[in-house]
């Protein structure tokens, strides 16, 4: 990458007799670096966020889910409280907890009904 950059920018300023080089090769290098950064980091992260949001919207009663805190339980119901979507999870006999929908990490088993 460094060799390519040196070839694109041309010889050092002293070799041309004091003439300024064009800034276009340097601008092209910055654009290329940004495109590589976008394709390797930003785009895959956006895709992962879209898939997670879609998964959260499809969680329904009867699904078995894993929370970000490590709890595994069955969704018994949903409700809204202060603009936050809450899922009621049954994690053991006679034990139910309320978890924000946003804290569901993964759906382990979908409801088959």
Are 22 and 48 contained in the same domain?
yes
Q: Is 63 helix (H, G, I), strand (E, B) or coil?
A: coil
Residue bearing the bigger pLDDT, 71 or 112? 71
Q: List for the chain the helix, strand, coil content (%; round to 5).
A: 45, 30, 25
Over 90: is that where the pLDDT of 12 sits? no
Domain total of the chain: 2
Domain that holds residue 16: 2-55
Question: What CATH number should be reported for the domain holding residue 87?
Answer: 2.30.30.30
Query: CA nearest 76: which of 92, 93, 60?
Result: 60
Crossing angle for the helix pair 2-9 and 24-37, nearest 10 degrees?
Answer: 150
- Summarize pLDDT for 50-60 with one digit per residue, the tens: 999 999 999 99
Same domain, 47 and 65: no
Residue 43: which H helix or E strand, with range?
A: helix 43-57
Q: Are 99 and 56 in contact (CB under 8 A)?
A: no
Strand partners, 107: 65
Shared-domain flag, residues 74 and 105 = yes
Phi, psi of 50 (to 5 degrees): -65, -45
Query: Is residue 6 located within the same domain as residue 40?
Result: yes
Do residue 13 and residue 36 come from a single domain?
A: yes
Q: What does pTM read for this prediction?
A: 0.67
Query: Are 42 and 75 in a shared domain?
Result: no
Does residue 82 sit in the same domain as residue 50? Answer: no
| Three-state DSSP class for residue 64 | strand
């Amino acid at each position: 990458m460094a060799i390519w950059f040196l070839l694109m920018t041309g010889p050092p300023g002293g070799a041309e007799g004091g003439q300024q080089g064009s800034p276009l090769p340097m601008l092209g290098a910055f654009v290329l670096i940004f495109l590589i950064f976008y394709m390797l980091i930003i785009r895959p992260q956006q895709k992962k966020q879209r898939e997670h949001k879609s998964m959260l919207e499809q969680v329904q009663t009867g699904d078995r889910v894993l929370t970000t805190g490590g709890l595994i339980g069955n969704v018994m119901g949903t409700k809204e409280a202060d603009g936050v979507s809450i899922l009621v999870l049954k994690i053991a006999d006679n034990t139910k907890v309320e978890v924000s929908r946003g804290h569901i990490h993964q759906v382990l088993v979908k409801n088959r009904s």
